[in-house]
Amino acid sequence: MKILATALFAIPLLVAAQSAPSNNTAGPTVLKQKDPDFGQCSLGKPGHAAALVALDVDAKGMPHNVVIDKTSGNTCFDNASVTAVEHYTFRPAARSGTPIASHIRIAVDATRY
């Protein structure tokens, strides 16, 4: 599995996007992720669905306020994506080495599972 983080932070499968960091600020990185359970979802074409999930990552690396930012058009897929991201853990963003809260977006794409 891969995670790809935009906002200039590379990680492997999903895409996290946020404001570009300043010189002394590092964005959050995924430490642990849970694969979405799309078992009950009818995705039409095999694996054809993608959603953008927005969330806050606190200074301890825990996700909060996880919501769909851009729907896949499939409620089941969107709900499974949110549930999976709610179980992620992150290395929090940091400014001058001090952990800080941040807001990110993660793209969940069924073709990658």
Give me the pLDDT at residue 40, please: 84
Distance, CA of 18 to CA of 41 (rounded, Å): 29
- Alpha carbon 18 to chain centroid, angstroms: 11
Give me the pLDDT at residue 41, please: 84
Give me the pLDDT at residue 23, please: 65
Distance, CA of 47 to CA of 109 (rounded, Å): 8
User: Could you read off the pLDDT of 61-96 as tens digits, one per residue?
Assistant: 999 999 999 999 999 999 999 999 999 999 999 999
User: Any idea where the domains of the chain sit in the sequence?
Assistant: 1-20+50-113
- Phi-psi sector, 47: left (phi>0), alpha (psi -120 to 50), beta: left
* pTM score, whole prediction: 0.77
Tell me, which fold does domain 1-20+50-113 have in CATH? Answer: TolA/TonB C-terminal domain (3.30.2420)
Q: What percent of the chain stands above pLDDT 70? A: 75
User: Could you read off the pLDDT of 4-55 as tens digits, one per residue?
Assistant: 333 323 333 344 444 455 568 899 999 999 999 988 887 766 557 899 999 9
Summary mean pLDDT of the chain? 81
pLDDT of 98 > 80? The answer is yes
Give me the pLDDT at residue 13, please: 37
